[in-house]
Amino acid sequence: MGDALIVILPVLVLVAVLWALSTALRPRDSGMSEAERYQLDLAMRSQAHYAAQVQAATAARARVDAATRPSQNEQQHTQQQDHARDAVLAQASHGAVLPGGQLNPQLAIQLQSMVRNGQKIQAIRLLRQATRSDLLTAKQYVDRL
């Protein structure tokens, strides 16, 4: 039994040393540790939360801006447009259509201005009121401007 022990003991030591070396020399996982993964996950959630807050704040700002009254310049511009429209309507009732079937030049200029400013529907309404024409005729005229 002593001879077997002398042979088995060095073999066990040799196996332990080889196991230790193979473990030490084995390439380590190049991935992240649990702490690094946690930090990365926390940073990503924080960034998503911040983006959501910015989006909510932007939406709230847009709602507030939409709910507040327009600025003084916008009010003045709207008043000027209203006055110009009223003047054209007043003049339109006194001769929107000239003899020969042509439109009054001032009314035509007003309509062109409205179309350029993206107010096609208002231009159609104005033309219909001034000339008492039907919707299709007024729309075709405004589309050609």
pLDDT, one tens digit per residue, over 56-83 is 999 998 888 777 765 666 777 777 777 7
Range name among 25-34, 47-56, 105-114, 128-137 with the lowest pLDDT average: 25-34
pLDDT digits (tens, 9 = 90+) for 92-113: 445 556 555 677 788 888 899 9
Mean of pLDDT over the chain: 81
Helical spans, DSSP H, in the chain: 2-25, 34-67, 72-92, 105-116, 120-131, 135-144
User: Beta partners for 97?
Assistant: 103
The long-range contacts involving 74-79, CB below 8 angstroms and separated by at least 24 positions, are none
pLDDT cut 90: percent of the chain above it: 26
Cα-Cα-Cα-Cα dihedral of 92, 104, 135, 137, to 10°?
160
User: Beta partners for 103?
Assistant: 97
Output the CA–CA distances (angstroms, integers) from residue 123 to 15, 88, 143, in the order listed.
Answer: 96, 11, 10
